[in-house]
């Protein structure tokens, strides 16, 4: 996404793990990352609780984007000092990118990691032909709403009773990618 903030003290690199020791490297989910992703989910009440099997499936298939397919799931992890500090799951269908789930480790929030992962997902969506990005967020999740607003997402609807446990409406947010 354009204008993503880069902060001092956290090298926001998509370069390789060979970059500065505190560099944040965003790469696709690997099988070995799954326990760390599940732990991040547990530590992040705002994130959706996906079962292990969902991540296993994504990890097995990876990005299966081919001209013959019109729907693909992808998951990236943000790695710093060899530790998974964030994850983001997105789906591309036709000309839409949907952010399905994301979280950053509580001890590494407000350091630009979420922005960096979103930038990678948006670049993938654009390259796959997406013209709009969508996501749902719990109405009470002020932290995530502030983050998405900063990234150019605007409210475009409400899904009544979308969430359970606890029950809550979802705000539908969208952003043009073209
Ligand atoms: C939402 C989330 C992924 C953001 O990740 P992050 O790495 O902390 O985000 P960034 O550091 O890239 O934040 C960029 C900007 O977003 C906004 N922002 C992020 N967190 C914010 C907060 N708690 N309060 C206000 N603004 C916030 C700010 O404008 C911030 O820039 P600034 O720090 O210079 O003010 C993270 O807060 C998180 O994991 N939350 C719990 C899980 C969750 O709610 N997931 C969303 C499911 S829909």
pLDDT of residue 21: 73
Instruction: Provide the pLDDT for residue 22.
Output: 86
The per-residue pLDDT for 23 is 95
Q: What is the pLDDT of residue 20?
A: 77
Q: State residue 18's pLDDT score.
A: 58
Contact 140, 115 (CB under 8 A): no
Is residue 90 lining ligand 1, measured as CB closer than 6 Å? no
Digit-coded pLDDT (tens) for 75-101: 999 999 999 999 999 999 999 999 999
Domains along the sequence of the chain with CATH: 11-176 (3.40.630.30)
Phi, psi at 143, each rounded to 5°: -60, -50
* Ligand 1 pocket residue status of 163, Cβ below 6 Å: no
* CB-CB contact of 156 with 121 (8 Å): no
Per-residue confidence (pLDDT) for residue 66, from 0 to 100: 45
Secondary structure, 3-state, the chain: CCCCCCCCCCCECCCCCCCCCCCEEEEECCHHHHHHHHHHHHCCCCCCCCCHHHHHHHHHHCCCCCCCCCEEEEEEEEEECCEEEEEEEEEEECCEEEEEEEEECHHHCCCCHHHHHHHHHHHHHHHCCCCEEEEEEECCCHHHHHHHHHCCCEEEEEEEEEECCCCEEEEEEEEECC
CB of residue 103 inside a 6 A radius of ligand 1: yes
Contact 64, 58 (CB under 8 A): no
Q: Is 140 exposed, middle or buried (0-12, 13-18, 19+ CB in 10 A)?
A: middle
pLDDT recorded at residue 71: 57
Burial class (CB in 10 A: 0-12, 13-18, 19+), 80: buried
pLDDT along the chain (178 residues), means of 10: 34 53 93 98 95 94 52 92 97 96 98 98 96 97 98 98 93 97
Q: How far is the CA of 130 from the centre of ligand 1 (A)?
A: 24
In short, whether 152's Cβ falls inside 6 Å of ligand 1 is no
pLDDT of residue 36: 98
């Amino acid at each position: 996404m354009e204008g993503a903030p880069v902060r001092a003290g956290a090298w926001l690199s998509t370069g390789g793990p060979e970059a500065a020791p505190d560099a944040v490297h965003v790469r696709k989910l690997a099988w070995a990352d799954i326990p760390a992703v599940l732990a991040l989910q547990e530590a992040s009440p705002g994130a959706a609780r996906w079962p292990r099997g969902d991540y296993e499936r994504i990890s097995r298939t990876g990005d299966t984007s081919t001209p013959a397919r019109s729907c693909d799931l992808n998951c990236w992890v943000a790695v710093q000092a060899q530790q998974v500090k964030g994850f983001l799951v997105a789906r591309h269908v036709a000309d839409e990118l949907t952010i399905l789930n994301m979280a950053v480790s509580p001890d590494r929030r407000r350091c630009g990691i979420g922005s960096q992962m979103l930038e990678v997902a948006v670049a993938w969506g654009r390259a796959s032909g997406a013209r709009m990005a969508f996501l749902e967020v719990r109405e009470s999740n002020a932290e995530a709403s502030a983050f998405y607003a900063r990234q150019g997402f605007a409210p475009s609807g409400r899904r009544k009773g979308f969430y359970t446990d606890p029950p809550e409406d979802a705000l539908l947010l969208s952003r043009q990618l073209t």
